Chain A
């Protein structure tokens, strides 16, 4: 392979933060015109490597060389790398909600003279690039008014407008549904045909094997290996083995001796309307039930209404004009607030740990007891010692890795934060737990531990509702699976009969029906 075949070569990159070596002599080579995947567990150093490349960590703050287009490059700031055609699209989208698509696309890259922005040109060019990525929205639409999937496309259009020659996508599909993800990946393949090189960082191994020509695996800040399509085995097992450094024989722990009992939660004819767009029905005549000791999965695409269903049941935390019946242990209840829901034995463990689950600036103790202050207080007066011992008990029970329970939650890793969040709801002592994406963004080892906790919960006679976008997880963990699409239940499968194909089929049949209706 001659030198010019490689658009990028990073040699011996070492980057240290105070006390941590984030990257340790990393070598990374990207072939021109390829799609190169960068995989590894959380904290393995993928994003750090890309930040070094983009100049967010300026030249001099790391050691090693970046050879781009055959010459050693020194990037002091993001603008430097962008000028050379290296454009990075971050996981958290870099869009300003109150600006239009066009304004966003050329922010920092304005059209016209430096002190006189040419708005006509801006919008004309925006429209051109939007067309390339297959968006038909007007470039004058505000960003806040389009969905995440489209926002991701706008990001790509924005990158193209910067004359990207090397496109880096950091977890581009993490908040997209499967259809949007597929569209995005196909777009990348299309660009590849036109000669664009991309680097994709992803947790989703099936996507990686679908799209990538080469896969580089990073673990603990070191490059482990680079697998090449057509030469190496690119199966999911093979990649996971590289990532975790060990075989995971069984990704899902077995449940023994859990007997499934009477219905614990029954929901009947549940309807919810959108809180702002009052005429949009988000949940449409949904009925389901969960039995004692059962793990019930809710599968579906992003935006199918699973989180909305869960939150509307949990004390009407979402939506308006809610109607329907809820029975808990056979008794009908009306839940108007999260407090009533908790008192009735429900718990909702949010998908958004940082945004709506934990108080990051507070210690584990305070987070653990927040949903059940009555347990550690007497007439409004808190017993601090008791609180400390409660937090300590759950730390041991869930094996949360922390130097002390007085540690602020913000300093913990994703997996440990999830455990603190679970502690909070376990301490509220619910009968029915709704776990919304309980393993999102946490690494393989921690996932296994979360599964074990779920098994322990049902073994204690509790019921678990598990909302997850990872199909294998739903199939591996749940006794029964409901499939939600467009706010309706479109399928129900027992453990034995369920399969990825069947679930997808029931989702797609709704989509087809919708399409026909529109025509």
Chain B
């Protein structure tokens, strides 16, 4: 392999990471480094928590064959509405949270039923869902805003001024808990990687070059440490981050390590082959869309906590953010291709652009234009570089 093709391959494999680095560097330059300030790093996470959660769920749907769920924005709104109403009537907070998740799950299951068992195209089912649940939110809220006053709820789900994990270690200027968590995460990551390498080498299986693995590990550790250091300098771990990380970890695991995850990819790759291999593909569709409902429920909780209210206009265009993140993150619109880490990169890219432009004082309207252009540029770059290779 010549060095030129090597570079090309590298660029292709890590296109979106490189783009993320470049975009961040650009904003760091234009904002005189403000975007890397602790508070802004925190904001990238807390303000975009819903994107991470929804994009992860959307990925499952896209994997099954490029199918999308247009209803998520409306479901987020409806779940939020239901939650706000319940808490307004002084329902126990945890019970309310549970019920909100159940509502999300049921909506997901309802749509999933039509998609999986009646074979109504997802685009149509969820388009109908989008209209219906937006309307229902309006009806329930009577077109008005309802405040969420339960402080505990707001704090736990990442809203309000004090939505950070308390520091048990009592650090003064720096949040020690945050640092400890960061270091622990690095250690766990290193141990797992090393163990994998050793067993693979022992079993004489293909394991990739050692240098590449080491470089990758070093970069990941550096990024994690940088992040936690920044967060520690501000107010510590935002609660929203906890939820996002939990979702990411669970779904990374599900997609890469479990049979259900495998079946999602298989259905997207070749549905008939999957069916004939003894897998009930209807269940896989059902899983993907029910799960989307559940995650939309969680996103609904995060949204009303952050905004401390419910409004019939919440969640508009959330589906577009989620879909955009997936495609920027390398998911194929034909299904069968895409990873959770890729989608996270996509969502981060969107988040960095949002925050970066806000800091630069760019008008919110220009932000929409830039978002559209970035989405397009990402996809064009992806398509063109892939074409050159083949």
Contact = CB atoms under 8 A, between A and B. Distances in A.
A360 interface: yes
Nearest to B205: A388
B258 A381 contact: yes
B195 to A, nearest CB: 11
A427 to B, nearest CB: 11
B205 A389 contact: yes
A385 B197 CA distance: 11
Contacts of A339: 278-280
User: Interface extent on B, as a size class?
Assistant: 20 to 34
Interface in A316-370: 317, 337-339, 341-343, 348, 350, 352, 355-362, 366, 370
A358 B270 contact: yes
Interface stretch (B99-107, B135-143, B260-268, B353-361): B260-268
A392 interface: yes
A373 B262 CA distance: 9
B203 A389 contact: yes
Contact of B276 (A343, A348, A366, A392): A348
Contact of B278 (A337, A359, A388): A337
Contact of A404 (B206, B257, B272): B206
B203 A382 contact: no
A315 B258 contact: no
B262 A382 contact: yes
Nearest to B253: A381
Given A356-B272, A389-B203, A380 B258 contact: yes
B278 A338 contact: yes
Contacts of A424: 277
B205 A370 contact: no
Contacts of A95: none
Contacts of A314: 276
A484 to B, nearest CB: 21
A389 B207 CA distance: 12
Given A380-B258, A382-B258, A342 B278 contact: yes
A338 B276 contact: yes
A115 B258 CA distance: 57
B278 A315 contact: yes
Interface string A370-393: 110100010011101100110010
Interface string B257-296: 1111010011001101111111110000000000000000
B336 A359 contact: yes
Nearest to A340: B278
A21 interface: no
A361 B337 contact: yes
Nearest to A338: B278
A151 B280 CA distance: 33
B206 A370 contact: no
Contact of A362 (B200, B265, B280): B265
B260 A380 contact: yes
B213 interface: no
A359 B259 contact: no
A385 B275 CA distance: 25
A478 to B, nearest CB: 24
A21 to B, nearest CB: 18
B199 interface: yes
Contacts of A388: 205-206
Contact of B336 (A355, A362, A373): A362
A339 B280 CA distance: 8
B270 A406 contact: no
9 contacts: A338-B278, A343-B278, A356-B273, A361-B336, A370-B266, A381-B259, A385-B200, A405-B206, A428-B278
